[in-house]
Amino acid sequence: MERVKEEPRLCELSTNWTMLFRASHGTPEEVSDALKLMMLRYSGAVHRYLLKTVGDPDEVTELDQEFALRFLKGNFLKYDPTVGRFRDYVRGAVRNLMIDYHRRQTSSRKKIRHLDTDLEATIVGESGLEGLDEQVDQAWRDDLLDRAWESLAELESRTGQPYHTVLKHRVRHPDQKSAQMAAALSPALGRTLTSGAVRQLLQRARERWAASLIDEVKLSLDAPTRDNVEQELADLKLLHLCKPILDRIDLGKAAD
């Protein structure tokens, strides 16, 4: 279980693939709304990558805005879902954004007006873009994990079941026994927990968390199936967290 550190988020909305088709074929008003939702869906992962790669928060803010502008201008409408995953298209867009960024940086230093093949290769090497695919995937992975944690927190707030509290405690204190967890959590929850109750809560929390993560992955796929959801989880190195429940759930149903 991973990603429990709270941090500011740009992505608060979820969307699905119908948004892309609405953006392609809807009215101007529908196009605007759809593109905004799509941009919000992926901008969190892009921001994570930019912040790690560029470092300067001010420059990252400008790049965030440039990415959003390119998105909202409709550049992403060129994507064909029959060709590949939208995440792969996002990676290509981030690569182009970063090459343009480093071209501007190089031009300002060396007064170079054109980006030729050799210069592009130099930029890619010097800026670390050769590892971009892996880094963007890691940013997207972290974003999905955060979404799953947020979903679990929302479920706890809505139902009163302390799944988020119990699971987060387990992640932060992985070596504690059930009795120790019960003693630590009882005051915080305002009720006395037994070791058995903690184990039951922990099992249910893990299942709910994994189901939420699967739902988040489903939202990023066109016509998700058991096979392509499993493949996406495997590609993102998340399958080991979800495999037990993935074998039991109906992919046509969202997590409760």
pLDDT per residue of the chain (256 residues) written in tens, 0 to 9: 555 544 434 333 334 445 655 666 667 666 667 667 777 778 888 888 888 888 888 888 888 888 888 877 776 666 666 666 777 888 888 888 888 888 887 766 555 444 445 544 544 554 556 677 788 888 888 888 988 999 999 999 999 999 999 999 999 999 999 999 999 999 989 999 999 999 999 999 999 999 999 988 887 776 778 888 898 899 889 999 888 888 876 655 544 4
* pLDDT computed for residue 250 by the predictor: 61
* pLDDT computed for residue 217 by the predictor: 87
Residue pair 22/34 in contact (Cβ under 8 Å)? The answer is yes
Mean pLDDT estimate for the chain: 78
* pLDDT computed for residue 210 by the predictor: 93
CA-closest candidate to residue 46, choices 9, 84, 2, 1: 9
* pLDDT computed for residue 82 by the predictor: 66
One-letter amino acid for residue 145 of the chain: L
CA atoms in the 13 A half-sphere facing the CB of 128: 9
The C-alpha angle with vertex 250 and arms to 205 and 203, in degrees rounded to 5, equals 15
One-letter amino acid for residue 223 of the chain: A
* pLDDT computed for residue 119 by the predictor: 45
How many residues are there in the chain?
A: 256
pLDDT, tens digit, 9 for 90 and up, residues 197-236: 999 999 999 999 999 999 888 877 767 788 888 988 998 8
Q: What is the largest CA-CA distance in the chain?
A: 70
Residue pair 46/67 in contact (Cβ under 8 Å)? The answer is yes
CA-closest candidate to residue 221, choices 89, 75, 78: 89
